Amino acid sequence: MPTTLSSLNLTGVQFKEGAAPSNPAAGYGRAYVDAGGVLRYVSDTPIDLPLHNPGSLDVVTADTEVVNTAAETTLWTYTLPANYLGADGLLRYNGFISYLNNSGANRTFILRFKYGATTLLTLTTAALATSATRRWMDLWAYLKGDAATNAQRASWFPGLLGLMAANAQHNGDEGTSAEDSTTALALTLTIQHSLAAATISAIIRHSTLELLKAV
């Protein structure tokens, strides 16, 4: 049985980088340093989290631009490890998109939010007027385990700032999937322009994915 400590001073202690340890005994956890030098914690669930910011699974600040193509193209993706979502987990995604249609005519685009092989949410915009000024979308999406490891429910609010007038999906939408969350599966956000042109561009400025846990 592991020894229980009320406190432990690790000042000056060095950790050797290595693979994740085997699952600890029920009710206990183990800390280790991964190959990237990040101190992580493994629980008996098993869930493996970085200790520097346990809720943040992915933070991307590099721009990704999709331009001059009408093919469905990935804006952001993250492979969610096995057992992170489970039957009652909750994930929150946020991405900020800068959009340009300077093609001389109205255009549209399609956003898709996917988990594994399932497209959970789809947004097809209304006609967007041509303009030399970039416009923005602040996108928030949630994915939860829906009372089983093979049932999920997603919702999102695509905050279309200056992109369009009336569009029912601007007010939000939800969708479901039946993926096996006990396996590692990708979360993916894609975009598809209605026309391939150098004057039609979408840039995702940043993305974050968080695992929400009650304290």
Overall pTM surpassing 0.85 (yes/no):
no
pLDDT of residue 126: 81
Asked if 60 and 76 touch (Cβ cutoff 8 Å), the reply is: yes
Question: What pLDDT is stored for residue 31 in this prediction?
Answer: 66
Whether residue 168 sits in one domain with residue 69: yes
- Can you give the pLDDT at residue 46? 54
Please check whether residues 32 and 99 belong to one and the same domain. Answer: no
pLDDT at 142: 97
Residues 72 and 18 in one domain: no
Do 90 and 3 belong together in one domain?
no
Number of domains in the chain: 2
Q: Are 64 and 139 in a shared domain?
A: yes
Which regions of the chain are under pLDDT 50?
1-6, 52, 164-166, 168-169, 215
Instruction: Give the start-end residues of each E strand in the chain.
Output: 29-33, 39-43, 48-50, 56-60, 64-67, 73-80, 90-101, 109-115, 118-124, 135-148, 151-161, 173-177, 185-193, 200-212
Q: Give the pLDDT of residue 128.
A: 87
CATH of the domain at 156: 2.60.120
* Same-domain check for residues 43 and 134: no
Q: Say if residue 153 is in the same domain as residue 167.
A: yes
Q: Which domain holds residue 159?
A: 55-212
pLDDT in the model for residue 156: 93
Same domain as 42, residue 59: no
Bridge partners, residue 93, by sequence: 141, 209
